[in-house]
Amino acid sequence: MKKPVVSIIIAVVVIVAAAVIYYATRPPEAAATIKIGVIGPMQYVQGIGHWNGATMAADEINAAGGIQVGDKKMKIELVQADSNEFINITDATNAMERLITNDKVDFIVGGFRTEAVLPMQDIAMENKKIFIGVGAAHDELCLRVAKDYDTYKYFFRGSPFNSSYLGRTSFIHLGTVAAILKNTLNIENIKVAIAAEKAIWTEPMIKASEGVIPKMGMELAGVWRPSPVATDVTAELSAIQRSGAHIIFTIFSSSVGIPFARQAGELKIPAVQVGINVEAQKDGFWQATQQMGNYVSTLNTYCRGVEYNELTKPFVDGYVERFGETPTYTADTYTAIKYALKPTIEKAGTLDADTLVAILENASYMAPSGKVEYLKDENGNHMHELKWGPGNITALGVQWQDGELKGFWPNKWKAVPEAPEVTYKGIVPYKIPPWVIEAYKK
């Protein structure tokens, strides 16, 4: 009686195993659509930006008939993957695996935290999938391309430009604001406090800041390192005030940017905030700080009313109209799909990754945030790193002014003395908070 039961079980197991192997290894059917995986923390503003930007690009492309691949038009199909990377990096790598092995996407855009994007990048590279990173800034992501081109050539940086350039741009903002303080308030010796969250991406920026600030003729008042998720920074702010700092150079990408701005505003700390505060780039910052984030400035990619070129306004206005908020840099999945992937696929006439990489890495194209070109390292190796500078991508210096985010930089900016001045359309003057004027006016 036992033997037939065992035989049946074995037979069932064999059939199921055979079916699984068949479906897992069968050649893909000719796809009718181009599948693009959009990966990001979908319950958070960053992931919502990834998805919104991608949706907008896909809808515009599909409405125009799709992408011309050889002799046929193919529409875009987006696949959403929640990386949950703020909570669990393993969730992010699992989501990437799922996109590639289960959803069988052709391309991937997104990613946010460097800590998560590095392992996600490895998975995409192993599977030879083009992955345009839109969110993580660490230099290592593109240094890998130069160091091991054959493995990492399928990765391109989409947005923002790397940590080194982020630092460089922030120092320019710091110098700009310091000059305004000096000229307006007659402060001779500007003291700068660095407030940087404890995270990998801030380490090189802190090191650079410690060297650059004295070279810029300013005094370093100290370095404060709150936790990225700190909710009470009154202790740090009190200590910063005691240091006599006139400027707080912020390096924040996490939630700590909100309590820091709110509590500094409420305590009327007599120091202006300049640098990077990713939370201050979002429309929700005004509510989140209970209007105490007034006069906080940050590096940013988009700002209502500010135009890099003729593509900026249609994108920003269209995004605001559709989603009710200003796009943040993670919404550059729009650029990744519409201005990077689409023309490259159409030029190549194929979805073959190697062919596309060869075209994209030499491409030069306009996007809503500026002209995109990719860098090579000093040895001429492709890095797939965004080129920074006037004529390419510079980003903006933005400041909260009475409930609205306004662009204040570049305003007659010269990258080098002999270079032409750069001022984007819609730029307004920087405002010093009244309590800072009150504290230092002579």
Query: Binding residues for another protein, per CB under 8 A?
Result: 41, 43-45, 48, 86-87, 197-198, 222-232, 234-236, 238-239, 241-242, 255, 258-259, 262-263, 266-268, 279, 284, 287-290
Q: Whole-number minimum distance, CB 262 to another protein, in Å?
A: 7
Q: What is the 3-state secondary structure (H, E, C) of 122-146?
A: HHHHHCCCEEEEECCCCCHHHHHHH
Q: How far is the CB of 245 from another protein (least distance, A)?
A: 11
Tokens (6 digits) for 17: 């195993």
State which residue, 143 or 239, has the beta carbon closest to another protein.
Answer: 239
* For another protein, the closer CB: 241 or 335: 241
Minimum Å gap between C-beta 286 and another protein is 10
Could you tell me the smallest distance in angstroms from the CB atom of residue 392 to another protein?
A: 32
Minimum CB separation from another protein for residue 227, in Å? 4
- Taking the least distance from each CB to another protein, the nearer of 327 and 407 is 327
CB of 52 to another protein, least distance (A): 13
Residue 209 CB, nearest approach to another protein (Å): 12
Please say which residue, 327 or 389, places its beta carbon nearer to another protein.
327
- Least distance to another protein from the beta carbon of 198, Å? 4
CB of 231 to another protein, least distance (A): 4
Cβ proximity to another protein, 252 vs 308, nearer residue? 252
User: Which of 114, 328 has the CB closer to another protein?
Assistant: 328
- The residue among 231 and 350 lying less far from another protein, judged by its C-beta, is 231
Nearer to another protein, 330 or 369 (CB): 330
Nearer to another protein, 113 or 153 (CB): 113
Spell out the SS3 assignment of the chain: CHHHHHHHHHHHHHHHHHHHHHHHHCCCCCCCEEEEEEEECCCCHHHHHHHHHHHHHHHHHHHCCCEEECCEEEEEEEEEEECCCCCCHHHHHHHHHHHHHHCCCCEEEECCCHHHHHHHHHHHHHCCCEEEEECCCCCHHHHHHHHCHHHHCCEEEEECCCHHHHHHHHHHHHHHHHHHHHHHHCCCCCEEEEEECCCCCHHHHHHHHHHHHHHCCCEEEEEECCCCCCCCCHHHHHHHHHHCCCEEEEEECCCCHHHHHHHHHHCCCCCEEEEEEHHHHCCCHHHHCCCCCCCCEEEECCCCCCECCCCHHHHHHHHHHHHCCCCCHHHHHHHHHHHHHHHHHHHHCCCCHHHHHHHHCCCEEEECCEEEEEEECCCCCEEEEECECCCCECCEEEEEECCEEEEEECCCECCCCCCCCECCECCCCCCCCHHHHHHHCC
